[in-house]
Chains A and B, each alone.
Chain A
C-alpha cells in the first residue's frame, strides 16, 4: 500500500486567511488542503490520511472547539493547532485540556506557524507509528487461544509457572507449553518484552 503524503488541513471560514496559509505552507514544501468549514473538512477527510489541522476557533456553524470535540468523539488523533484573533485564557485552557497540540494568537509570524506545523507533523507520525505498533500487538493477542490468554495474563502479573499451574488447575508442564506458544505467537523475546506489550495496549488509568 502506498503511503499517503502528510497533509496540513487548514479550516477557516475567512477566504483570505485560508488562501494565505495554503500559500505559506506550499512555499515551505508542505502539502495543504483548505476547507471553509468543519463540515467541509469532515466530508473530505479520510482517517488514514496523515497530517495535522490548522483550525480557526471562531467559525460560523461548528466552531473550532466544537470541531475538536467531534474529532475526539470520532477517535481522530490528528494534532490540532488552533489559530485565533480573539483568544483568551479560558478558551486556550479548554482547547489544551481537550488535547490541542498548540494554540496560536493572530497575528503570528509565518515562521512561528511553520515551526509548529512541522512539530505537529512529527507528532502525528509518532502517534501513527504507536498505533500501528499497538494494532500489531492486538492482532497477535487475537491469535491466542483462551487458555494461552489466561497464561499470558497470569505470567505478566509476575506469577511463576508453578503458581499459574495452581491457579488454572493444570500441570506445570502444560503451563510451560502454553507459555512457549504465547512467546512465539506474541513474537516476544523475553517476559519483560511481553509485559511492555501488555502495557502498551492496556487502557489508560
Chain B
C-alpha cells in the first residue's frame, strides 16, 4: 500500500470530529494525478491498494468514501471492474480519470456505474470539489 495517511481529520471542515472516510485509488496513476491525489491526503485517508481484488475489498468497507479509478487502468477492462464495484456499494461515488480525447470510454464508464469522469490532468480544485461533494 502506498501513500496512506491516517490523520483522522476527515473532509468535514469545521464541523468537528468526523469518521474518516477513505479515498480508494485503483491503479497507480500518472505523476500529475498522483500529486493531486496525494494532496488530498492532507484532508482524509487516501489509499492505493496493490491489486484490483483489494480495491474491491476496500470498496465494501464502511469507511469507503469514494473510489477513484486512475488513468493507468485505461488498458484494463475497467467496465467490468466498475460494474463489480458498483454492485458492491450502490451509493459509493466512483470517479474515473481518463484521457481527454476518449469520449467513448467516458460514456462507457458512465454507463457502467461511474459517478463522473475527470480528464487528465485533473486540477486539484476540480478533483477536491468533486470528492468533497461526494464524501458529504
Given contacts A87-B103, A89-B106, 15 further A-B contacts (CB under 8 A): A88-B103, A89-B100, A89-B102, A89-B103, A89-B117, A89-B119, A90-B119, A92-B107, A92-B110, A93-B106, A96-B110, A97-B110, A102-B111, A103-B107, A105-B104
B116 CB–A CB distance under 8 Å: yes
A selection of 23 A-B contacts at a CB cut-off of 8 Å is A87-B103, A88-B100, A89-B98, A89-B100, A89-B102, A89-B103, A89-B106, A89-B117, A89-B119, A90-B119, A92-B103, A92-B106, A92-B107, A92-B110, A92-B117, A93-B106, A93-B117, A96-B110, A96-B111, A102-B107, A103-B103, A105-B103, A105-B104
Among B102, B104, B107, B111, chain A packs the most CB atoms within 10 A around the CB of: B107
By a CB distance below 8 angstroms, the chain A residues around B100 are: 88-89
Interface size class of B (residues with CB under 8 A): 10 to 19
Q: How far is the CB of A166 from chain B (nearest CB, A)?
A: 35
Give the CA-CA distance A112 to B122 in the complex, in Å.
31
- List which A92-113 residues lie within 8 A (CB) of chain B: 92-93, 96-97, 102-103, 105
Give the CA-CA distance A105 to B103 in the complex, in Å.
8
Instruction: Return the chain B residue nearest A84 by Cβ.
Output: B103
Give the CA-CA distance A87 to B98 in the complex, in Å.
15
By a CB distance below 8 angstroms, the chain B residues around A97 are: 110, 116
Give the CA-CA distance A87 to B104 in the complex, in Å.
10
Instruction: Return the chain A residue nearest B104 by Cβ.
Output: A105
- List which A140-159 residues lie within 8 A (CB) of chain B: none
Give the CA-CA distance A23 to B89 in the complex, in Å.
44
Give the CA-CA distance A89 to B106 in the complex, in Å.
6
By a CB distance below 8 angstroms, the chain B residues around A96 are: 107, 110-111
